[in-house]
Structure 1
Amino acid sequence: MNSVHRAAIRDARSVVVKIGTTALTTPAGVFDTGRLQHLADAIEARMKSGSDVVIVSSGAIAAGIEPLGLTKRPTDLATKQAAASVGQVALVNSWSAAFGRYDRTVGQVLLTAHDISMRVQHTNAQRTLDRLRALHAVAIVNENDTVATNEIRFGDNDRLSALVAHLVGADALILLSDIDGLYDGDPRKASKDNPARFIPEVAGPDDLDGVTAGRGSNLGTGGMVSKLSSALLAADAGVPVLLAAASDAAAALETASVGTVFAPRKERMSARRFWVRYAAESSGALTLDAGAVKAVVQQRRSLLPAGITSLSGRFYGGDVVELRDQDATMVARGVVAYDAAELATMLGRSTADLPAEMRRPAVHADDLVAV
């Protein structure tokens, strides 16, 4: 399975590797350091070939189950956070021991969805990861399960890995789990009469026609839905993605000859536009008339107050807001230039009728991304 996109992943100088919970546990759900060491060996080989690698590692909650005497993955938030607290120690120590065999130092970076959504924390995380790479340390990134709320999450680190790939300017993202690629149905439920077709490459939305994605396992919270969504997110931002089985890690990292590859968009999205579209939390919404929707979506023009019919939310200048049409469908996201109270006095008014200090666009074209 050779393609220009597989070649790009094979030759990428900067790679983010996401490792799912099931890749680090036995079928019985026990955290397995032997599997982790096997993955570390494959990643070390890639680094020796000249690539920088950032690891996004799941498995903290699973690693905390046995030490706490639990019999299965907890379902309540407090126990999950307790398991994550214990498991994070075991997880990072295991990675440290695995890479210590190669005289490499690891650094742990714990993030929440809130960290990525806020511009200052987003930038600080970017700086930290860049500095760890510059100092030749291996960054082990994980969602901070001990403080993340149950509802505000990335989704088993799949979405986090896509965001991190763009955050560090990676040339490729490799998703490793118990799934050997994308199928048009669940291969575990396939039969002779109802086979599951393997999809080696996703070049665009048409390749996903008829694809049915499943949910995650009892140990992980991701599954194909999360992986597919995250792969498309990264690809849309301009990062090629490889989805492969952890058991094929050596081939995935060395030749990219296994799994499913997701082709990236031709032009890489700028860091700011990516943050606006995917990472930032929305603080409010602006409803646009038909003319403004056309100007924003089709003509990529700035949004003027004259085209806004209503607003909602408590936002301030510099916050990210949703732009919606008259049917309340989100058509774009952007960085608003005014506070909600100030913008409320400007709705529907032409620029010429506004004071000089209020003649800036409500959302400038450079800070606006259609969805």
Structure 2
Amino acid sequence: MSATRAAVAAAQRIVVKIGSSSLTTATDGLDSARLARLVDTVAARVAAGTEVVLVSSGAIAAGLAPLGLVRRPKDLATQQAAASVGQQALAHAYAESFSRYDLTVGQVLLTAEDVVRRGHYRNAHRTLHRLLRLGVVPVVNENDTVATSEIRFGDNDRLAALVSHLVGADALVLLSDVDALYDGDPRNGDASAVREVSGKQDMVGVRAGSTGASGVGTGGMASKVQAARVACSSGIPVLLTSADLADRALGPADVGTAFAATGARLSARRFWLAYAAGASGRLWLDEGAVAAVVDRRRSLLAAGVTAVEGEFHGGDVVELVGPAGTVVARGVVAYDAGEFPELMGRSSFELPPEQRREVVHADDLVPRR
């Protein structure tokens, strides 16, 4: 067994994400038998001494059948209506099923706003940690009833990666309708499973689909790979497999695809900067500034800025972009966008004293891995 799989099997705090297609169907709504099997597996892991946070999709899909809808709606208002009906059914089903093991569940509904805004991020962190200390199984979902297209996570895979860091998880398990990551479409019969991913070299030639095929979910394999990258880059190993193999995933971890942790665990603030906070604009840098920011971990100075995009204010998060157009870092900018025409390309001694501070201080800057 690889060290990654051993780490997942031994994790004392684990986040488990389950997709809509593994819990629901477009015609019949919530599948109570599937949900009960998942709860059986999670309860067994809890009984073994592990703290588990469950990130569950399925609210919108669970609301389709009661509303007489045959497929996931495309308009936001109907999605929100379906979520309102389905979220209640989903929460009740989890509470009832976990009660068979005398386990209490706590529903935690989040929007992207709750992790983009620093104060909301701290509140979510505090709530989840308190639930775990009380012996509760938190069931997390995006708050689809009020989320708008502008403030959505996009899919619960990304949400699961963010929650993994938020709770200080030792591992993340992504349960889907596919048993592993493949180097092509497994439905074609000529694709091979990728069992271990230890770095970018193991992803060469891998083509991950961008959408699901079930008709009830929003995430495809591409979103799961991206979620794994986010978690792994902050020190959290990931196991990806199908919901049908959940007992093995949460047991010996000998199934699916294991993604090794590739970076050190970030502080809550640095993780928020890197992955959770929304970027309000972009600063384009010259090669010298990229080297200083990324390689030497120095503060960004005005002399290295070549262009500005977006409308932002001092204290907002911005992306730092190299000459080739690649995002190389994110950080908290010290100036408003309108101030940059007087700053760009000028060394500190050329600026008045009140403008000689760093554009982005090294303490407020996180290079992209």
Q: Is the shorter-chain TM-score for this pair beyond 0.5, marking a shared fold? A: yes
Look up the equivalent residue of 1:124 and give its one-letter code: N
- Residues 80-159 of structure 1 aligned to structure 2 (within 5 Å): 80-150=79-149, 152-159=151-158
Q: Once superposed, which parts of structure 1, at least 4 consecutive aligned residues long, lie more than 4 Å away?
A: 26-29
Look up the equivalent residue of 2:244 and give its one-letter code: S
Shift of residue 327 of structure 1? 4.6
**Aligned residue among 189, 194, 200 for 1:199:** 194
1:61 matched residue in structure 2: 60
Shift of residue 247 of structure 1? 0.9
Question: Do the aligned residues in 1 keep the contact of 2:233 with 2:264 (CA within 8 Å)?
Answer: no
RMSD: 1.8
1:365 matched residue in structure 2: 362
1:56-84 CA-to-partner distances (Å, cap 9, x unmatched) read: 00000111111112222222221111001
1:282 matched residue in structure 2: 279
Matched, 1:245 2:242: yes
- Unpaired stretches in structure 1, ≥5 consecutive residues: none
Shift of residue 189 of structure 1? 2.1
Taking the aligned partners of 1:158 and 1:242, their CA distance within structure 2 comes to 12
Matched, 1:264 2:261: yes
Look up the equivalent residue of 2:188 and give its one-letter code: K
1:295 matched residue in structure 2: 292
1:209 matched residue in structure 2: 204
1:93-147 CA-to-partner distances (Å, cap 9, x unmatched) read: 1111111112222111111122211211111111111111111111110011112
Question: Do the aligned residues in 1 keep the contact of 2:322 with 2:328 (CA within 8 Å)?
Answer: yes
1:16 matched residue in structure 2: 15
SS at the partner of 1:101? helix
Q: How many residues align?
A: 366
SS at the partner of 1:94? helix
Taking the aligned partners of 1:286 and 1:209, their CA distance within structure 2 comes to 30
1:171-227 CA-to-partner distances (Å, cap 9, x unmatched) read: 00001121111111121221xxxx211111111111112211122121111111111
Shift of residue 27 of structure 1? 8.1
1:263-303 CA-to-partner distances (Å, cap 9, x unmatched) read: 00142222222211211111122222332122112222110
Question: Do the aligned residues in 1 keep the contact of 2:128 with 2:167 (CA within 8 Å)?
Answer: yes
Question: Do the aligned residues in 1 keep the contact of 2:273 with 2:365 (CA within 8 Å)?
Answer: yes
**Aligned residue among 219, 222, 233 for 2:219:** 222
Look up the equivalent residue of 2:148 and give its one-letter code: T
Shift of residue 255 of structure 1? 1.1
Taking the aligned partners of 2:199 and 2:309, their CA distance within structure 1 comes to 35
SS at the partner of 1:72? coil
SS at the partner of 1:254? coil
- Unpaired stretches in structure 2, ≥5 consecutive residues: none
1:177 matched residue in structure 2: 176
Look up the equivalent residue of 2:356 and give its one-letter code: R
Taking the aligned partners of 2:94 and 2:88, their CA distance within structure 1 comes to 10
Name the TM-score, length of structure 1 as normaliser.
0.93
Taking the aligned partners of 1:196 and 1:289, their CA distance within structure 2 comes to 42
Shift of residue 45 of structure 1? 0.7
> Per the alignment, do residues 200 and 368 of structure 1 end up closer, same or farther by CA in structure 2, a change over 3 Å counting?
same
Look up the equivalent residue of 1:242 and give its one-letter code: L
Question: Do the aligned residues in 1 keep the contact of 2:27 with 2:70 (CA within 8 Å)?
Answer: no
Taking the aligned partners of 1:201 and 1:298, their CA distance within structure 2 comes to 28
Which deviates further from its counterpart, 344-353 or 137-146? 344-353
1:79 matched residue in structure 2: 78
Question: Do the aligned residues in 1 keep the contact of 2:174 with 2:238 (CA within 8 Å)?
Answer: yes
Shift of residue 156 of structure 1? 2.7
Question: Do the aligned residues in 1 keep the contact of 2:27 with 2:65 (CA within 8 Å)?
Answer: no
Matched, 1:168 2:167: yes
Taking the aligned partners of 1:66 and 1:284, their CA distance within structure 2 comes to 42
